[in-house]
Amino acid sequence: MKDSDDLSSLVADLHAHLEATAELPVETRASQWLGEAEAVCEDALGPETPESVVEKRVEQVRMLLSNVEETGSDAADEHVAAALELVEEIESRL
């Protein structure tokens, strides 16, 4: 697997965690941040996305998630924690 494929897979996993929070009962403010993070991450999906775009979008996702203090849902909190781990992994590869 090429590095770009691996990076693309990590971004897809990140998006999946963010998308999963939309199905959960989370606090309104957290929902807004998570929805914005999901939309931003969606811009970085795909193997043809330039690394510079991935880097910028993942940085924006990190910033947006930094505003999520609590979601009111244990499952959503787990998805946020997993998303933050993926952000770190992606950034370490860029």
pLDDT in tens, 23-79: 999 999 999 999 999 999 999 998 899 999 999 999 999 999 999 999 999 999 999
pLDDT digits (tens, 9 = 90+) for 2-12: 577 799 999 99
Task: Using the predicted structure, report yes or no on whether residue 88 has a pLDDT greater than 70.
Answer: yes
| Domain with 11 in it | 3-93
Domain count, the chain: 1
- For every residue of 58-75, DSSP letters joined together read HHHHHHHHTT-S--S-HH
Q: The pTM is what?
A: 0.94
Task: Using the predicted structure, report yes or no on whether residue 94 has a pLDDT greater than 60.
Answer: yes
> Distance between CA 40 and CA 52 in Å, rounded?
14
Task: Using the predicted structure, report yes or no on whether residue 1 has a pLDDT greater than 50.
Answer: no
